[in-house]
Amino acid sequence: MPYDKSLTPPRAEKREHSYTFHGQTIADPYHWLRDGNYPNVDDEDVLGYLRAENAYFEAQMADQKPLVEELFTEMRGRIKEDDATVPQKDGDYEYWSEFEEGGQYSKFYRRPVGTEARELILDGPALAEGLEYFSLGALSISENGRFLAYSTDTTGGEYYTGFIKDLESGELLTDRIENVNSGLIWTAGDTMIVYGRANEQWRVDRIFAHRVGDDGDDQQIYHEEQLGFTASPGLSSNREWLIIAAGDNETSEVRLLPASDPLAEPLLVRGRETGVEYDVDVKDDTLFVLTNDNHVNFRLATAPMSSPAEWTTLIAGSDAFYLTDFDLFADFYVTEGRLAGLDQVQIRYYDDPARVETIDFPQAAYSAGLGNNPEWAMDRLRMHYQSPVTPDTVYDYHVASRELETLKVQEIPSGFDPSLYTVERVEVKARDGVMVPVSIMYRKDRETGGPLHLYAYGAYGYAVPPGFSTTRLSLVDRGVAYAIAHIRGGDDLGRNWYLQGKTTARTNTFNDFVDVGRALVERGLTSEGRISASGGSAGGELMGAVINQAPELFGAIVAHVPFVDVLATMLDETLPLTPGEWQEWGNPIEDADAFTLIRSYSPYDQVAAQDYPPMLVTAGLNDPRVTYWEPAKWVAKLREVKTDENILLLKTNMGAGHGGKSGRFEGLRETAEEVAFILWQMGVEG
């Protein structure tokens, strides 16, 4: 669609740089966009280029500002501004959070059970006042209910600082816990807090115990020495055991410590074995273990605490049922998983292994699972359910009567009529014959063959849930069908679905997405060039790969913080995530075949002299996950090489990280910009 071609887009200078691995030399003339002082970015040449791109973005989007405002107002109108979560009992209190009308951040409250005497325990808006960026990390109440531990990040760099508040006096203690990147776990009778500390590479390799009220050095209780492994602390459901988990994307190892004495000698559950993952919880003297050691879709096993490595199958692994999680309670336990790609929640009993109660859900595509259930002795379970046409619904499931009690349905103040929409779940054949599921939502009065938006992620075994979205309606209500491609690389259809989209099979992910797009054209749902697509992070890598492969399919692309410089990043073990990512993508440092494969699909390396669709690319200057220079380098190379005259925009958040701007309305405005760009470039009336 037309844009102001009189404005000259920024052109990054080319500076000679190359690297050689496995006898192959790669020229990288935009390498200089990586500031050598990172994570401090103060190179004026780098900042100058990013600011020039931001200015170009603002100039080209200037005429779309009325549409952005219209969309923002529309999206905001679907949000109940003075919203609150459903109170949940934990000990002597019920806890919940609230937004005030116009508020960007939540306030957190509690009240003694059986009373209405509300108490403000944490004021998010006050903490965020005057800050460009604010994120609340951990939030943890001591067992005796007196102290609140919480952590905040004010840059987007995801290095959090922990604080402790005395809820009796309302005052902060003098304690400061720096570089937190985990939960804050109360132990030792509320005298200690256990947490994970991020190192200079943003990896949590050490677990510490902080003694409340002590300004001295915190005591290290675990150090992970294997490069690529990270560590995290947790607490057993009965709150008797501290769980220290270590692992990477395919291997794990767990140690247990008494919560009453986190400085004790840890108990190793089972030593790490490459490719074996496991999680644990404890009931009495029995260890429960979720593991993939003998079935790809995981089994649930038990072991005596006296012999924690001797695992006996409780629930066998299944080719049909993918067991994803379990939760222990005093009188029963819950398993979660997916059957044919749809969420399943099942209640099971310690004294009767054959008794399984499955909670039924009515729709063809939906997302369902347990919510916050903090107490050990529960007789009802907090649950969430939603579908593309069902707003988020909060239930209590009464275990004894097997009844669902509706507590709250997400309110859409401007109105929402589900009868106006159709939801389909279809399967399309990929080029290798595999059937790929697709969830599709569109208005019943939509023009046949009209525009369609295609979304996917496709990495790390993350399944994109077919849930409800208020912002999606701004596309769908303008005649744009919305499709989620459940491509390989996610674990939508089980663990094998994930394995078929990683390392040596990575290109299946990109091929699936393209094949879904082509199949939807063949089915008459849309036409070539009338598909917009979006993805973020690894989903941004997906966007880069599919437009190299099939640019003619797409009429607009939005790539958020895209992981597009895959080869160079996987060759640099000093970067925050690289060593832990080799199991996902391959290690091109040691493996020549991995080097060749990654180079063959890495979007930055495969930019070609061809036409590309209109594109909007975003970055975060403080992003520790996908560093800002990846999208910056990609856009610079695209500007140099591409043969079309389609618009290409780069927007870098100069004071934020991976998730973009903080605050519910600032983030909403960025979503409105994205939708406005898509509508503009797809020629859809706003």
Percent of the chain predicted with pLDDT > 90: 92
If you average pLDDT over residues 433-446, what whole number do you get?
A: 97
283: which residues sit within 8 A by CB, 6+ positions away? 237, 238, 328, 333, 350
If you average pLDDT over residues 88-108, what whole number do you get?
A: 96
pLDDT value at position 105?
Answer: 95
Strand segments, DSSP code E, in 457-568 are 481-485, 531-536, 554-560
Domains of the chain plus CATH, in order, are 18-76+419-564+610-682 (3.40.50.1820)
Amino acid found at 135: S
pLDDT value at position 658?
Answer: 73
Main-chain dihedrals φ then ψ at residue 536, nearest 5 degrees: -130, 150
The pLDDT tens digits for 367-378 are 999 999 999 999
The pLDDT tens digits for 232-266 are 999 999 999 999 999 998 999 999 999 999 999 99
Confidence of residue 623 (pLDDT cuts 50, 70, 90): confident
pLDDT value at position 655?
Answer: 85
Strand segments, DSSP code E, in 88-146 are 88-90, 93-98, 107-112, 119-123, 135-141
If you average pLDDT over residues 507-524, what whole number do you get?
A: 98
Confidence of residue 398 (pLDDT cuts 50, 70, 90): very high
- The 3-state DSSP class for residue 181 equals coil
The pLDDT tens digits for 402-427 are 999 999 999 999 999 999 999 999 99
Q: Return mean pLDDT, the chain.
A: 95
At residue 107, does pLDDT exceed 80?
yes
The pLDDT tens digits for 23-75 are 999 999 999 999 999 989 999 999 999 999 999 999 999 999 999 999 999 99
Confidence of residue 624 (pLDDT cuts 50, 70, 90): confident
Confidence of residue 127 (pLDDT cuts 50, 70, 90): very high
Distances (CA, A) of 336 to 212, 328, 378, 384, 460: 36, 12, 17, 13, 19
**Rounded to an integer, what distance in angstroms lies between the CA atom of residue 530 and that of residue 553?**
7
Main-chain dihedrals φ then ψ at residue 540, nearest 5 degrees: -70, -35
Q: Are the beta carbons of 383 and 366 closer than 8 angstroms? A: no
pTM, entire model? 0.94
113: which residues sit within 8 A by CB, 6+ positions away? 89, 92, 93, 94
444: which residues sit within 8 A by CB, 6+ positions away? 420, 421, 422
The pLDDT tens digits for 145-159 are 999 999 999 999 889
At residue 365, does pLDDT exceed 90?
no
pLDDT value at position 418?
Answer: 96
pLDDT value at position 340?
Answer: 86
Give the N- to C-terminal CA distance of the chain in Å, as an integer: 14
The pLDDT tens digits for 284-342 are 999 999 999 999 999 999 999 999 999 999 999 999 999 999 999 999 999 999 998 88
Closest-CA residue to 535 (of 510, 552, 505, 553): 510
**Rounded to an integer, what distance in angstroms lies between the CA atom of residue 175 and that of residue 452?**
52
Strand segments, DSSP code E, in 13-129 are 18-21, 24-27, 88-90, 93-98, 107-112, 119-123
Main-chain dihedrals φ then ψ at residue 22, nearest 5 degrees: 50, 35
pLDDT value at position 521?
Answer: 98
**380-387 vs 390-398, strand pairing mode:** antiparallel
**Rounded to an integer, what distance in angstroms lies between the CA atom of residue 364 and that of residue 355?**
26
Confidence of residue 2 (pLDDT cuts 50, 70, 90): confident
**Rounded to an integer, what distance in angstroms lies between the CA atom of residue 438 and that of residue 158?**
34
> Which residues are annotated as catalytic?
537, 623, 658
At residue 200, does pLDDT exceed 90?
no
